[in-house]
Amino acid sequence: MKWWASLGKSLRGCGALALVALLSGACVRALAAEPPPRDGKVAVQFVQRARDYVTLRNSAVADVPKLKETTSPVEISAREKLIANAIRAQRKTAKRGDVFAGAGPQIQALVLSDWQERPYKERAALWKEIPAVDAPAVNAPYPPAVPLATFPPLLLAQLPALPEEIEYRFAGPHLILRDVEANMVVDVLPNVLSDPGAPRLGAEANQ
C-alpha cells in the first residue's frame, strides 16, 4: 500500500472532525504511532543496489596492499585514502540517490516514525550526539574530525540489512551510507530528522 494512501485512510479514520484534530495534534500522534507500510520489493531492490556497490568496491580495492596489524593513525588513515581513491576511480559518475533510489521515501518514513515515537528527552539527547554538519557529498570522505554518533539499535533493526562493508549513520539531519573501511560516503538521504526543539506544552513537556 502506498504511504499516501495509508495516510488518507488513517485520516478518514479520525472522523468528521479530522481537520480540527490534526490542528490539535491528536491525529498526528496517532499516525506517528502507526508504523509506516513496507514494500518488500523496494527493500529487496535497495539491498541489491548495496550489494552491487560492494561488488564494485571489492573489485576496485583488490590491488590495494593489505594493512599489517597496526595502531598507527597515520598508517590507518593512509590506507583509508588508498581504498577510497580506488573506489572513487570506479564510480566517478556516482550521485546522490544511486543506492537509496526508490527506497528513499520508505526508509525516510521508517526513520520519521521511529523519531516521532521517541520521548522528547530521548530525541533531544540523540540530536545532541549527532554531529552538526551539512549534507556530505557522495564519494566524499566522512570528516575524520567529526565523531560517529551511535546509531539507534531499535531503528537499525527496522531498516533493511546492509552488507557488512556499509553502515547507516546520521550526519546532521541526514542519513548516510558509509563505507566502513574507506570511511567514505556512499549515498545520502537528506533531511530525514528534524531538530526536536523545545518541548511542547502538555504531556511532552514531562517526558
Average confidence (pLDDT) per 10 residues, the chain, 207 residues: 38 39 38 52 96 96 81 82 95 96 95 93 92 92 87 94 96 95 96 80 52
User: What confidence score (pLDDT) does residue 66 get?
Assistant: 79
pTM (global) more than 0.85: no
Name the residue ranges covered by the structural domains of the chain: 37-206
Residue 39 exposure: Cα atoms within 13 Å on the Cβ side = 15
The C-alpha atoms of residue 113 and residue 121 are separated, in whole angstroms, by 16
The C-alpha atoms of residue 179 and residue 162 are separated, in whole angstroms, by 11
User: What confidence score (pLDDT) does residue 39 get?
Assistant: 63
DSSP states of 135-204: PPPTTPBPPTTS--PPPPHHHHHHSPPPPTTEEEEEETTEEEEEETTTTEEEEEE--------SPPTTGG
Buried/exposed 129-146: b ≥16 CB within 10 Å, e otherwise: ebeeeebbebbebbeeee
Strand partners, 178: 167, 185
Strand partners, 166: 179
Q: In 10 A of CB 74, how many CB atoms?
A: 8
The C-alpha atoms of residue 183 and residue 72 are separated, in whole angstroms, by 16
| Superfamily of segment(s) 37-206 | inner membrane protein cigr (3.10.450.160)
The C-alpha atoms of residue 78 and residue 84 are separated, in whole angstroms, by 10
Q: In 10 A of CB 177, how many CB atoms?
A: 22
